[in-house]
């Protein structure tokens, strides 16, 4: 029997090569075998300081990239989180079974809240909204990058806690992580993940970057003072990151990659990585540009997508309310 799959990206910026390798390219394969829902988590974007115009254009761009990367509305549901109010509603119900302690332990929250003048309640609530996203649709599988592991564990704990207290209601979801490439790092700071939410994108390859910009960013990627091309993330994070990118995009395993680069220098590594990144992104960019100039198609796809799952979400909310003793 097909499994239910749910995953999302938040439109706080434009998708990066990290999102492609760690997430979307894998989702494309998984849509073939599962009942898949691919969400653009626009409500989550409100946890950062983002102006409406930017949010709107990022929201179009993330959906355009989903489509350009091969997520297919004929095979899967694509929609925006804010189209279905049940997400926000379930978030509140999840809030009420989450302890302050466990929410305060979320490392993404701690990192994002550090050194900020204003930390919103929304940022604190972020993981409970994510749990709601997942639990609304009886999700079995959640393909995500390593950085989301702790959030997924919380979603699992909340599902189990709810089921124990109120009776069997939620499917306990399982995270699906890629072996190589589950985390792609910033080219300028290779111990930090490549992120679309950064202010400075010099170390992030965006899926929309021009060929010249991609060349420049990879050329300037930080390496180390040795010359040997060896996969050793601890001691050689920059080189290992470039090797991971190369391995995933050429579908080679790391042993093969090490052998291929034996005796070659860092210039050769960067040249090969540049070529494969450009080759991978060229067809994606062509489709992306098409959708960005036809945003009416994006709206239609998202509306159709939301209509397919609205009832399921509403029924789940009714069930949860009934179990919790709310009258509706």
Q: Interface with ligand TYM by CB under 6 A: which residues?
A: 6-10, 18-19, 22-23, 41, 44, 130, 133-134, 142, 144-145, 147-148, 182-184, 193-195
Per-residue tokens: 150: 């702790």
Strand spans (E) along the chain: 3-9, 34-40, 76-80, 141-143, 174-176
Strand partners, 142: 175
* SS3 call for 295: helix
Nearer Cβ to ligand TYM (106/229): 106
Q: Which is nearer to ligand TYM, 264 or 310 (CB)?
A: 310
The C-alpha angle 27, 30, 36, rounded to 5 degrees, equals 80
**Smallest separation, CB 266 to ligand TYM (Å):** 21
Distance CA 253, CA 181 (A): 11
Nearer Cβ to ligand TYM (142/247): 142
Q: How far is the CB of 299 from ligand TYM (least distance, A)?
A: 21
User: N- to C-terminal Cα distance for the chain?
Assistant: 34
CB of 109 or CB of 322, closer to ligand TYM? 109
What are the structure tokens assigned to 265, written together?
């220098």
CA separation for the pair 142, 151 (Å, rounded) = 11
Q: How is residue 81 written in tokens? A: 């989180």
User: Are the C-beta atoms of residues 274 and 215 closer than 8 Å to each other?
Assistant: yes
8 Å CB contact between 257 and 273: no
How are strands ordered across the β-sheet holding 34-40?
76-80, 34-40, 3-9, 141-143, 174-176
Reported as type and span, the H/E element at residue 176 is strand 174-176
Measured from the CB atom, is 167 or 192 closer to ligand TYM?
A: 192
Shortest CB 265 distance to ligand TYM, Å:
26
Residue 112 a catalytic site member: yes
**Catalytic hit among 28, 193, 217, 270:** 193
Does the active-site annotation cover 264?
Answer: no
215 is catalytic: no
Q: Of the listed 3, 75, 112, 312, which one is catalytic?
A: 112
Q: Tell me how far, at minimum, the Cβ of 164 lies from ligand TYM, in Å.
A: 22
Please pick, among 183, 196, 236, 316, the residue that the annotation labels catalytic. 196
Minimal distance, residue 264 CB to ligand TYM, in Å: 25
Active site residues: 112, 193, 196
């Amino acid at each position: 029997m097909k499994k239910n799959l749910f995953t999302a990206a938040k439109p706080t910026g434009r998708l990066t090569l990290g999102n492609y390798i760690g997430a979307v390219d894998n989702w494309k394969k998984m849509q073939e075998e599962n009942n898949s829902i691919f969400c653009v988590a626009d409500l989550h974007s409100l946890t950062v300081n983002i102006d409406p115009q930017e949010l709107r254009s990022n929201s179009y761009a993330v959906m355009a990239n989903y489509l350009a990367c091969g997520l297919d509305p004929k095979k899967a549901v694509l929609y925006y989180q804010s189209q279905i109010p049940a997400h926000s509603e379930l978030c509140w119900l999840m809030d009420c079974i989450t302890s302050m302690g466990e929410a305060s332990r979320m490392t993404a929250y701690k990192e994002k809240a550090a050194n900020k003048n204003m930390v919103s309640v929304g940022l604190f609530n972020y993981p409970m909204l994510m749990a709601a996203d997942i639990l609304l649709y009886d999700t079995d599988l959640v393909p995500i990058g390593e950085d989301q592991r702790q959030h997924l564990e919380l979603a699992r704990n909340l599902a189990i806690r709810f089921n124990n207290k109120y009776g069997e209601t939620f499917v306990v979801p399982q995270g699906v992580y890629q072996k190589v490439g589950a985390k792609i790092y910033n080219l300028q700071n290779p111990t930090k993940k490549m992120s679309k939410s950064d202010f400075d994108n010099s170390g992030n390859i965006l899926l929309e970057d021009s060929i010249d910009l991609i060349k420049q960013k990879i050329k300037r990627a930080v390496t180390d003072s040795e010359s040997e091309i060896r996969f050793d993330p601890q001691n050689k994070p920059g080189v290992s990151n470039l090797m991971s990118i190369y391995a995933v995009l050429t579908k080679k395993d790391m042993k093969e990659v090490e052998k291929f680069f034996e005796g070659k220098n860092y210039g050769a590594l960067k040249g090969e990585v540049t070529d494969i990144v450009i080759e991978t992104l060229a067809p994606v960019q062509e489709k992306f540009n098409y959708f960005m100039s036809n945003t009416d198609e994006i709206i239609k796809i998202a509306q159709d997508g939301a209509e397919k799952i609205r009832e399921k979400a509403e029924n789940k909310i009714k069930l949860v309310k009934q179990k919790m003793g709310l009258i509706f």
